[in-house]
């Protein structure tokens, strides 16, 4: 069953599972499990059983579909299958932080890396982060404020960078 982006956006979670019953050796089940997992690219859980019992190592955990897709070449951001309107600086800020997950950047470092003109103060970064967060909420807040230092993009956030 194929779901459209609109249908996926309308639901909170989509669970996909595949169950295959084999009558041959458990070693074959492990190979089949690995091949299915590779083909599904981690989107679905795979359970393979032999003689009605789960094969050793056949359970794979469900990996949720990323909530946010950042398409670098197209300079497009898609949230739950819908395009998200970002300014040039908001896109650059999100892209830059996502490209360096779990690294803390000072406001001065972000401003130096992303802003074409260096006038104004470091609070300019705060304003853009606030606006970016407002567009992502309530679904996602991958940007963490590190008090007294700056900002960090959480590497565990369900965000892809293409």
Q: What is the 3-state secondary structure (H, E, C) of the chain?
A: CCCCHHHHHHCCCCCCEEEEEECCCHHHHHHHHHHHHHHHCCCCEEEEEECCEECCCCCCCCCCCCCEEEECCCCEEEECCEEECCCHHHHHHHHHHHHCCCCEEEHHHHHHHHCCCCCCCCHHHHHHHHHHHHHHCCCCCCEEEECCCEEEECCCCCEEEC
145: in domain: yes
Please indicate, yes or no, whether residues 10 and 46 belong to a single structural domain of this protein: yes
The partner residues of 54 in beta bridges, in order of sequence, read: 49
Domain that holds residue 26: 5-54
pLDDT of residue 138: 77
pLDDT of residue 1: 47
Count of structural domains, the chain? 2
pLDDT of residue 62: 44
Please indicate, yes or no, whether residues 44 and 72 belong to a single structural domain of this protein: no
63: in domain: no
Contact criterion met (CB below 8 Å) for 73 and 162: yes
pLDDT of residue 90: 93
Query: The whole model's pTM is what?
Result: 0.59
pLDDT of residue 61: 44
Please indicate, yes or no, whether residues 106 and 34 belong to a single structural domain of this protein: no
Please indicate, yes or no, whether residues 98 and 18 belong to a single structural domain of this protein: no
Please indicate, yes or no, whether residues 47 and 114 belong to a single structural domain of this protein: no
If the chain, 162 residues long, is cut into consecutive pieces of 10 residues, what is the mean pLDDT of each piece?
49 54 58 64 56 54 64 90 90 94 93 81 87 87 91 86 82
Please indicate, yes or no, whether residues 104 and 148 belong to a single structural domain of this protein: yes
Q: What is the CATH number of the domain that holds 106?
A: 1.10.10.10
Please indicate, yes or no, whether residues 75 and 142 belong to a single structural domain of this protein: yes
59: in domain: no
Pick from 80, 67, 83, 85: nearest CA to 7: 80
**3 state SS of 7:** helix
């Amino acid at each position: 069953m194929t779901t459209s982006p609109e249908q996926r956006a309308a639901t909170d979670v989509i669970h996909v599972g595949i169950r295959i019953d084999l009558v041959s050796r458990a070693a074959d089940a492990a190979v089949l499990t690995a091949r299915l997992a590779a083909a599904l690219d981690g989107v679905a859980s795979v359970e393979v059983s032999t003689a009605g019992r789960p094969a050793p190592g056949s359970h794979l955990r469900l990996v949720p579909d990323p909530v946010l897709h950042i398409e670098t070449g197209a300079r497009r951001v898609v949230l739950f299958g819908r395009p998200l309107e970002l300014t040039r600086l908001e896109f650059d800020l999100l892209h830059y932080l996502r490209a360096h997950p779990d690294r803390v950047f000072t406001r001065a470092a972000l401003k130096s890396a992303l802003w074409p003109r260096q006038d104004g103060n470091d609070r300019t970064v705060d304003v853009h982060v606030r606006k970016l967060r407002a567009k992502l909420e309530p679904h996602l807040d991958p940007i963490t404020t590190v008090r007294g230092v700056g900002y960090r993009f959480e590497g565990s956030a369900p965000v892809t960078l293409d």
